[in-house]
Amino acid sequence: MSLREHERRILAEIERQLSEEAPALAGRLEAFGSDDPDAPIDPGLRSWKPWVACGLIAAVTAGLLVLLFVLTPSAPQPEDTPRPAETSQGAEPAPEGGTVDRVPAPAD
């Protein structure tokens, strides 16, 4: 959030008066300030730590998902039921609207 020109002049005047009246306090307060308040304090060392933490969390989550996938039993597969063997060798399709006369097989 940027300041208006008038506000900047007021702050500069306050800083000047403070440095004249209490130079020790002004020196301590300057240690806290920077030209850009939105700039990170130490961009070199602290910027990689959040990425490492996110990477570790992602790796642990992916590992747990793989472990869950491997250890979860699969659903039982339906058994293939064998079809009953046909008793007549030369079965012909039934005519439409009619019945099929079957001749019984001779008994031995």
HEC string for 52-88: HHHHHHHHHHHHHHHHHHHHCCCCCCCCCCCCCCCCC
In tens, the pLDDT along 72-107 reads 888 777 777 766 666 555 555 655 665 556 666 777
In tens, the pLDDT along 21-71 reads 888 887 777 777 555 555 555 555 557 788 899 999 999 999 999 999 999
Which pLDDT belongs to residue 94? 57
Residues 6+ apart with CB under 8 A from 3: 11
Distance CA 15, CA 26 (A): 8
Which pLDDT belongs to residue 62? 98
Residue type, 97: G
